[in-house]
Amino acid sequence: MAKILVVEDDLQLRENISEQLELSNHEVKTAPDGIRAFELLPSFRPNLILCDVMMPNMDGIAFIRATNRHALYRSIPVIFITARVAEQDKLLGLEAGAVDYLFKPFLQKELLLKVNNITRGQTEFVLHQLEQAAAHQETEIQFIKRFSELLEQQASNPFLTADKLSLEMNMSLSAMQRNLKKYLRRNFSELLKDHRFRRATVFLLETDYSLQQIADRCGFGSLSYFSFSFKEANGVSPLRFRQQYRPKTALPNN
């Protein structure tokens, strides 16, 4: 179902077109001239406009030119309705932005075919966009899942680098870093450091591992670097953190 605005000064023709479109399950609004039609646009936002060329107050050409000045409306396709079949009149309408013409008198079948061709194309375009969005989302999920799994597996390696992980991801370093920024808003170094600190925090609070063991298991390489970087990030040393948040009578000091 499409939302269609019919702009036609002939009351009988306007009602006939509206009835035919509604019988085809389209939602229809009508207007007798360009001024009234323009007033309907903000609230109705049609998918298609059927517009007479010759009308009082504001004719079809002036109406379409007015819609083209507004970013919200200029993409709405327009079919002009006219009795004027001269080539120059047709070119004038096409230059104004019409995508097709209905020449009076026209058959009901012709009207519905032209309307359905345009609205079906819009539906296919929207579906294509949704499919692309779904594909992008699936790509994002797969990337994040794979990266997280590899980070979990290899974070204990003090020699882990972005280059090495990108090889495991089967992508270039620049592509991996670009995706990390795009999907996680962080670079590799930040994510690796955060992961190691989270892991160290769990070990400090939930195990009796020595600080050296935690440094080794979390990939810090040395106890001194672990202590320095942990304090820099958290404001307290690993030992002080353990004493404050998980008091015990007998815990290893190193």
The reply to whether 231 falls in a domain is: yes
Tokens 């980070």 label which residue? 151
The reply to whether 143 falls in a domain is: no
Q: Are residues 117 and 36 in the same domain?
A: yes
Q: Which residues of 120-134 are buried (b: 16+ CB within 10 A; e: fewer)?
A: eeeeeeeeeeeeeee
The reply to whether 201 falls in a domain is: yes
Position 86 scores a pLDDT of: 61
Q: Are residues 172 and 96 in the same domain?
A: no
Is the bond preceding residue 105 a cis peptide, omega within 30 degrees?
A: yes
Q: Which residues neighbour 183 within 8 Å (Cβ) at sequence distance 6 or greater?
A: 140, 143, 144
Position 129 scores a pLDDT of: 55
The reply to whether 131 falls in a domain is: no
Q: Are residues 108 and 159 in the same domain?
A: no
Position 254 scores a pLDDT of: 53
The CA dihedral of 133, 134, 137, 143, to the nearest 10 degrees, is: -120
Q: Which candidate, 63, 18, 8, places its Cα nearest to that of 41?
A: 63
Per-residue pLDDT of the chain (254 residues; tens, 9 = 90+): 788 999 999 999 999 999 999 998 899 999 999 889 988 988 888 889 999 988 888 888 888 888 888 877 888 889 998 877 666 666 777 777 778 888 888 888 888 888 888 877 655 555 555 466 556 767 888 898 899 999 999 999 999 999 999 999 999 999 999 999 988 888 999 999 989 998 999 899 889 999 999 999 999 999 999 999 999 988 899 999 888 887 554 444 55
Q: Are residues 164 and 217 in the same domain?
A: yes
CATH of the domain at 115: 3.40.50.2300
Position 212 scores a pLDDT of: 95
Asked if residues 37 and 44 have their Cβ atoms less than 8 Å apart, the reply is no
Q: Are strands 27-31 and 48-52 parallel, antiparallel or unpaired?
A: unpaired
Q: Which domain holds residue 118?
A: 3-126
Position 113 scores a pLDDT of: 86
Dig out the tokens for 35 from the structure.
């001024």
Q: How far apart are CA 238 and CA 242, in angstroms?
A: 6
Q: Are residues 64 and 169 in the same domain?
A: no
Residue 146 amino acid letter: R
The reply to whether 135 falls in a domain is: no
Residue 74 amino acid letter: R
Position 12 scores a pLDDT of: 92
The reply to whether 40 falls in a domain is: yes
